[in-house]
Amino acid sequence: MRTLAIDLGTRRVGLALSDESGRLATPIDVLQVRSPEHAIELVAQAVSKHSAVRLVLGLPLNMDGTLGPAAKSTIKWANALHIQCKLPLIFVDERLSSFAAEQSLMELKQRGAKLTRKGKKQRQDALAAADFLQAFLDGRVPPFDVGKEDGRP
């Protein structure tokens, strides 16, 4: 079951994809977007291109686990995406995924990889999506229930 992970941003959207067995997440792309509507259009194209059957969307929760303005905006965007793609949509806590991605990029640089500031930022968004997708696939991050303020049962 191919799962597409989405790390939504206002200018860039990081994408990661699971393998067919749903065990391994791989960063695949960073989309440059002009608006939320443009992001929906490009993500819908990626869904089709990669034959995804479910979506995992990183939810930018507050550090205390509550829904703030960014998370509420993400939920609204995701609802519009769901109408467009008609695929199951799962929210997961993306807190610290960007930090983990940045650490991975620092390790690459230490191994001699040449990364410009722009290249680093581009890769970071896709790596963040891969990070929370892998955590979800491994069962380390449960789905977040957006119907409850703190996501707990």
Asked if 7 and 58 count as a contact pair (C-beta separation under 8 A), the reply is: yes
pLDDT tens readout for residues 110-152: 556 565 665 556 677 888 999 999 999 999 888 998 875 555 4
pTM of the model: 0.83
| E strands, the chain, in order | 3-7, 12-18, 25-32, 54-59, 89-93
**CA–CA dist 25, 27 (Å, integer):** 7
pLDDT band (50, 70, 90) for residue 153: very low
Percent of the chain scored above 90 by pLDDT?
64
Range name among 29-43, 50-64, 100-114, 118-132 with the lowest pLDDT average: 100-114
**Distance between CA atoms of residues 42 and 54, nearest Å:** 16
Residue 78 tokens read as: 């995701």
Fold that domain 3-137 belongs to in CATH: Nucleotidyltransferase; domain 5 (3.30.420)
